[in-house]
Amino acid sequence: MATRTASVPFTLWSGAKTSVFHLVAGVLAALFLFPLIWAVLNSLKSPAEANAIPPTFLPRSLSLGNYGTLREYGAGISAYAGNSLIVALITVAGTVVISVLAGYGFSRYEFRGKNLTFVTILAILMVPYATMLLPLYILLGVFGLQDSLIGLGLVLMMFQLPFGVLIMRNAFDSIPRELEEAAFLDGAGPLGALRHVSLRIVTPGVVTVGLFAFLASWNEFLAPLIFLSTGEKFTLPLMLVSVREGTFGQIDFGALQAGIVVAMIPCIVLYLVLHRYYVNGLLNGALRG
């Protein structure tokens, strides 16, 4: 009887902790979702209502006029989104390929200066981001890549490589070498073992590197501002800064919020599709060792 009586308060306490946890998690989720919901609602208001003071939460009437403003601005939002997509694809492809090969080399091979080289790569993370843009701008001029989406993609790829190499090295470290040795016995070479054995196991790490590279390049503002000078080559963040200026310098909040909604859709879709690999990649790669 005493044991049963003692278990009742314990059960109540455990249930209370669970309820508090869910309550706090729900409040935090609402706080994080509120700006997104606010942007969507504002994008569906008429331009006059979107700029009204004090602002209204729910639109009095639904309107797609703000999205029409984006379609007609400059070269059109599809062109600027296409530029951002090109830069993001260059950044993702280059970051993933180089990070996988470099991470595999640092994990599986011993060579002179290995640790020094690895620390030097990671040291890029310690250098202030803005201080490197001017030297890179001059370097791109030497190769004729100024005001170029390819040049911008290469710059953003460089800033993503330290994190990507770290993730992939730790991911390959988590794979038993015996699996690759078995592939060697079957006649596979190093690249064959990497492709058919190791790479399939570290897929979460690869997805994590690619997702981080995409989000960083898609949302980047400072680097495109410096490296791009032709309006038709502007990326989506640059376009949003330009479109927010309405008549007589008034900020067009409706068009700005509509642009934010367009910009965040690919990020949300990618995260929802790949979040399982993303979480596994962080747990098994970045946090290992």
CATH superfamily for 74-286 is MetI-like (1.10.3720.10)
pLDDT tens digits for range 99-155: 999 999 998 888 888 889 999 988 888 888 888 888 899 999 899 898 999 999 999
Q: What is the pLDDT of residue 99?
A: 94
Q: What is the pLDDT of residue 4?
A: 52
pLDDT tens digits for range 250-281: 677 888 888 889 999 998 888 888 877 766 65
Which pair of structure tokens corresponds to residue 76?
Answer: 């059109």
Which pair of structure tokens corresponds to residue 222?
Answer: 């400072």
Calpha distance 90→154 (Å, rounded): 7
**pLDDT at residue 2 above 50?**
no
**pLDDT at residue 287 above 70?**
no
Peptide bond into 54 cis (omega under 30): yes
pLDDT tens digits for range 32-50: 888 888 888 888 888 778 7
pLDDT tens digits for range 196-227: 778 888 888 898 899 999 999 999 999 999 99
The position carrying tokens 């994190």 is: 163
The 8-class DSSP code of residue 235 comes to -
Q: What is the pLDDT of residue 9?
A: 61
**Cα torsion through 39, 44, 46, 49, rounded to 10:** -40
Q: Which of 130, 133, 128 is nearest to 152 (CA)?
A: 133
Q: What is the pLDDT of residue 55?
A: 76
Binning pLDDT at 50, 70 and 90, where does residue 285 land? very low
Q: Could you report how far apart the first and last alpha carbons of the chain are, in Å?
A: 49
pLDDT tens digits for range 232-255: 899 999 988 887 765 555 677 888
Which is higher by pLDDT, 283 or 240?
Answer: 240
Q: What is the pLDDT of residue 224?
A: 93
Which is higher by pLDDT, 265 or 62?
Answer: 265
Calpha distance 90→239 (Å, rounded): 20
Domain positions in the chain are 74-286
Q: Which of 1-5, 19-23, 29-33, 122-126 has the lowest mean pLDDT?
A: 1-5
Q: Contact 152/84 with Cβ under 8 angstroms? A: no
**pLDDT at residue 162 above 90?**
yes
Q: Evaluate the CA torsion angle 167, 135, 85, 271 in order and state its sign.
A: positive
Q: Contact 209/222 with Cβ under 8 angstroms? A: no
Q: Which of 12-21, 188-197, 219-228 has the highest mean pLDDT?
A: 219-228
